[in-house]
């Protein structure tokens, strides 16, 4: 027992630790050797397309599936042998899974009843948590008498009322319309900060991942592609998948011609472009096939004679299409010197009222540090 | 033109011809009458039933003259008085009602896990097996199945032979109340499972996961989540099983061997043994009344919505 207690003491700051966890369904590897640590009180988002294994990973942490390899530790204790109802984990489900035969208050009271709290404590806590999710006075409503957003709030209150070690969110916002979804994202953030509960959120919505999280894990094909803070994930993607999945990114294919430090020279269609190596990416050597990734908003667009001062890479092109999206204009520009590649460019300049029409000759420019070079 | 002919498949052209024919026979101004027309066969069938019921009501008010074997001309309530006062009929009614209730309870207890497994199993092979096993008895008539039990449970039947091998003397397994109830449960099980399965399918599996993540083990998940949500199915299945067992004829007749008559057997005896149409009709009407009251009470207690009718519950 002595060993266990010192372990606990050492692991005190880590709420969840996933070690080499794998999940195989038949001959499909849903999750391959996933490992990460999540400190207490942090909000982690697992981001990935459908089929990337993110929900499987979450279900294993919740205890609904057991990993076929590896181990999950919660508060330093291995949990493989612990059934879901004995793990102190609150979960908000994709379809919320509210109990339709109970009122909002009865739903929130359910986990407390299962833990045999006395009636007075239950009443007080239910009221406090309905208050927390701003549903004071709605306790007596039946579930089908509540709006979508209100149901979300009941589900959050129910998952938190028993003060779980960990809160899991399984894409509960996916079904909401955009405005309500953005409102609920901030609500999740507020409640999580207020209670300081360690949270793991699963989503395929990159915006949600960036807005709500302290840390983001990007998954694809059952493997963790990158784990970093949102800003880092966005600004320094570890590989082409991450660069492509988050944000709108242009890829320019070529070959590495020279490397010095983090600066890379890429040869594409006879043009030399400079970029930087990806911070957490695979190592590059001269001659390897690579692609340079530049985000659409990091390319400046200007008329054919404009200077574009201060930008290191400048190419000329022709507008193929311009799409007005309200707060920004999206250009698709054909660049002959890059083998006719079409680059997407966002223009957020609201002051000049300038818009280039299809067929117009323009110049595009970007900084070398904004082109991340990945091994192909 | 030729191009469009090619793109227009033959089946579509055939359907066009049908539609034109239908339009000629049944112009669109009649369209609104169509739903009512489609209701007609059902109305005619129910109407015939009502006519029969009136006929039976008429017979029930006439007594049999045992010397002439003619029905009396005058209306009298004598049959009702006999049916309600004679101890034999009270015994039969009590046995039927009690039997129906016991059979319903046992059937629901057996059917629930079967339906649950069938709905929730991730293995489609197991689901298919359970479904086939469920439908197989429907292909074997009730009477044939009852005779099958005679062979299995008879004094020289398979069960007694097997018991003999381990030194147990032959037992009387047939022609008693438990044998009838056993036969009825076996007969009712598929009906109950078929009524329960849709109700259980309507409960999202996620609710059970949610309950378990909120701290409920499977027993409490069952008690607080599955059972209350399955109530419409349980009530519906219970109603079907109660009414079918209450009115069953073949199983009490064959497995009861005449000593365990249910109401239907008594009615049969009146019609075809003593030829007392009047008393038979009276017993039939009383059975209809008891059944209707039972269904009425259940509807009042649980609401007609329990049979998944109407959408008061979403």
Residue A173 has which token pair?
């916002």
Asked if B220's CB is within 8 angstroms of A84's CB, the reply is: no
Ranges of CATH 2.40.50.100 domains, chain A: 240-375
Q: pLDDT tens digits for A230-256? A: 999 998 899 999 999 999 999 999 999
Share of chain A above pLDDT 90, in %: 70
User: Is residue A144 less than 8 Å (CB to CB) from chain B?
Assistant: yes
According to DSSP H, which parts of chain A are helical?
Answer: 2-10, 54-62, 104-114, 119-132, 148-160, 178-195, 206-212, 230-235, 240-245
Q: Which residues of A313-323 are buried (b: 16+ CB within 10 A; e: fewer)?
A: bebebebeebe
* CATH code reported for the domain at B83-307: 1.10.3720.10
pLDDT at B4: 54
Q: pLDDT tens digits for A17-57? A: 999 999 999 888 999 999 999 999 999 999 999 989 999 99
Tell whether the model's pLDDT for residue B191 goes beyond 60: yes
Q: How confident is the model at residue B241 (pLDDT cuts 50, 70, 90)?
A: very high
Q: Read out DSSP for chain B?
A: -HHHHHHS-HHHHHHHHHHHHHHHHS-GGGGGGHHHHHHHHHHHHHHHHHHHHHHHHHHHTS-EETTTTEE-SS--SHHHHHHHH-HHHHHHHHHHHHHHHHHHHHHHHHHHHHHHHHHH-S-HHHHHHHHHHHHHHHHS-HHHHHHHHHHHHSTTSHHHHHHHHTTPPP---SSSHHHHHHHHHHHHHHHHHHHHHHHHHTS-HHHHHHHHHTT--HHHHIIIIIHHHTHHHHHHHHHHHHHHHHT--HHHHHHHTTSS--HHHHHHHHHHTS--HHHHHHHHHHHHHHHHHHHHHHHHHH-GGGGT-SSS--
pLDDT at A10: 45
- Residue among B207, B213, B220 whose CB faces A84 most closely: B213
Q: What is the mean pLDDT of chain A?
A: 90
Instruction: Tell me the mean pLDDT in the region B133-137.
Output: 87
pLDDT at B67: 81
pLDDT at B310: 44
ipTM of the shown complex: 0.81
As its CATH architecture, domain A240-375 has: Beta Barrel (2.40)
Instruction: Tell me the mean pLDDT in the region B46-68.
Output: 90
Asked if A93's CB is within 8 angstroms of B214's CB, the reply is: no
Ranges of CATH 3.40.50.300 domains, chain A: 2-235
Domain A2-235 indexed as CATH 3.40.50.300? yes
Q: How confident is the model at residue A327 (pLDDT cuts 50, 70, 90)?
A: confident
Tell whether the model's pLDDT for residue A319 goes beyond 80: yes
pLDDT at A270: 85
Tell whether the model's pLDDT for residue B313 goes beyond 60: no
User: Is residue A281 less than 8 Å (CB to CB) from chain B?
Assistant: no
pLDDT at A27: 87
Q: pLDDT tens digits for A144-200? A: 999 988 999 999 999 999 999 999 999 988 888 888 899 889 888 899 999 999 999
C-alpha A369/C-alpha A261 separation (Å) is 13
Mutation for A interface: B206, B211, B214, most A CBs within 10 A: B214
Mutation for A interface: B122, B207, B210, most A CBs within 10 A: B210
pLDDT at B307: 52
C-alpha B288/C-alpha A343 separation (Å) is 80
Classified as helix, coil or strand, A276 is strand
- Residue among B206, B224, B229 whose CB faces A95 most closely: B206
Tell whether the model's pLDDT for residue A11 goes beyond 50: no
Classified as helix, coil or strand, A58 is helix
Which residues 68-107 in chain B show a CB within 8 A of chain A?
none
């Amino acid at each position: 027992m002595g060993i266990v207690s010192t372990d606990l003491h050492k692991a005190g700051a880590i709420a969840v630790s996933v070690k080499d966890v794998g999940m195989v369904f038949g001959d499909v590897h849903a999750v391959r050797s996933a490992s990460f640590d999540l400190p207490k009180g942090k909000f982690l988002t697992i981001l990935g397309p459908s089929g990337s294994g993110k929900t499987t990973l979450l279900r294993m942490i919740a205890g609904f599936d057991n990993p076929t390899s590896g181990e999950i530790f919660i508060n330093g204790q291995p949990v493989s042998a612990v059934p879901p109802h004995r793990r102190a984990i609150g979960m908000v489900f994709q379809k919320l899974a509210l109990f339709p035969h109970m009122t909002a208050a009865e739903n929130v009271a359910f986990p407390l009843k299962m833990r045999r709290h006395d009636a007075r404590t239950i009443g007080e806590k239910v009221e406090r948590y309905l208050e927390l999710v701003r549903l004071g006075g709605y306790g007596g409503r039946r579930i089908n008498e509540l709006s979508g957003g209100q149901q979300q709030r009941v589900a959050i209150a129910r998952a938190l009322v028993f003060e779980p070690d960990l809160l899991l969110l399984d894409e509960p916002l996916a079904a909401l319309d955009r405005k309500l979804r953005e409102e609920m994202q901030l609500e999740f953030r507020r409640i999580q900060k207020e209670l300081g509960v360690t949270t793991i959120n699963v989503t395929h919505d990159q915006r949600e991942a960036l807005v709500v999280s302290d840390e983001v894990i990007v998954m694809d094909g059952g493997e963790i592609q990158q784990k970093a803070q949102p800003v880092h994930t966005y600004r320094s993607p570890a590989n082409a998948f991450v660069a492509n999945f988050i944000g709108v990114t242009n890829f320019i294919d070529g070959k590495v011609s020279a490397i010095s430090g983090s600066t890379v020279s890429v040869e594409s269609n006879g043009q030399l472009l400079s970029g930087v190596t990806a911070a957490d990416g695979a190592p590059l050597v001269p001659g390897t096939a690579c692609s340079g990734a530049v985000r659409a908003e990091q390319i400046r667009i200007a008329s054919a004679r404009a200077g574009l001062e201060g930008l290191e890479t400048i190419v000329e092109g022709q507008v193929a299409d311009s799409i007005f999206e309200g707060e920004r204009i999206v250009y698709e520009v054909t660049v002959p010197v890059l083998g006719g590649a079409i680059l997407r460019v966002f223009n957020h300049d609201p002051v000049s009222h300038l818009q280039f029409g299809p067929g117009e000759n323009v110049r595009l420019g970007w900084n070398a540090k904004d082109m991340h070079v990945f091994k192909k | 033109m030729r191009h469009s002919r090619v793109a227009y498949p033959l089946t579509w052209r055939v359907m066009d011809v049908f539609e034109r024919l239908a339009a000629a026979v049944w112009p669109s101004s009649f369209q609104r009458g169509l739903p009512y027309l489609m209701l007609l066969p059902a109305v005619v069938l129910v109407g015939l039933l009502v006519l029969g019921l009136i006929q039976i009501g008429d017979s029930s008010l006439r007594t049999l003259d045992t010397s002439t074997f003619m029905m009396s001309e005058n209306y009298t309530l004598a049959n009702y008085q006999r049916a309600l006062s004679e101890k034999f009929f009270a015994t039969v009614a009590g046995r039927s009602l009690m039997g129906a209730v016991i059979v319903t309870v046992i059937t629901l207890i057996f059917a629930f896990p079967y339906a649950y497994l069938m709905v929730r199993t991730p293995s489609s092979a197991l689901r298919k097996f359970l479904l086939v096993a469920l439908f197989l008895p429907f292909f074997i008539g009730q009477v044939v199945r009852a005779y099958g039990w005679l062979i299995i449970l008879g004094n020289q039947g398979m069960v007694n032979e097997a018991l003999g091998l381990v030194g147990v003397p032959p037992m009387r397994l047939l022609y008693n109340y438990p044998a009838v109830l056993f036969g009825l449960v076996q007969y009712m099980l598929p009906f109950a499972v078929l009524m329960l399965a849709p109700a259980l399918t309507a409960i999202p599996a996620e609710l059970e996961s949610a309950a378990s993540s909120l701290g409920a083990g499977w027993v409490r998940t069952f008690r607080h989540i599955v059972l209350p949500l399955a109530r419409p199915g349980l009530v519906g299945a219970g109603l079907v099983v109660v009414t079918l067992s209450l009115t069953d004829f073949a199983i009490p007749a064959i497995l009861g061997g005449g000593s365990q008559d249910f109401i239907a057997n008594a009615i049969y005896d009146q019609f075809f043994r003593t030829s007392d149409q009047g008393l038979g009709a009276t017993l039939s009407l009383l059975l209809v009344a008891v059944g209707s009251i039972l269904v009425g009470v259940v509807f009042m207690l649980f609401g007609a919505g329990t049979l998944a009718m109407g959408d008061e519950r979403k």
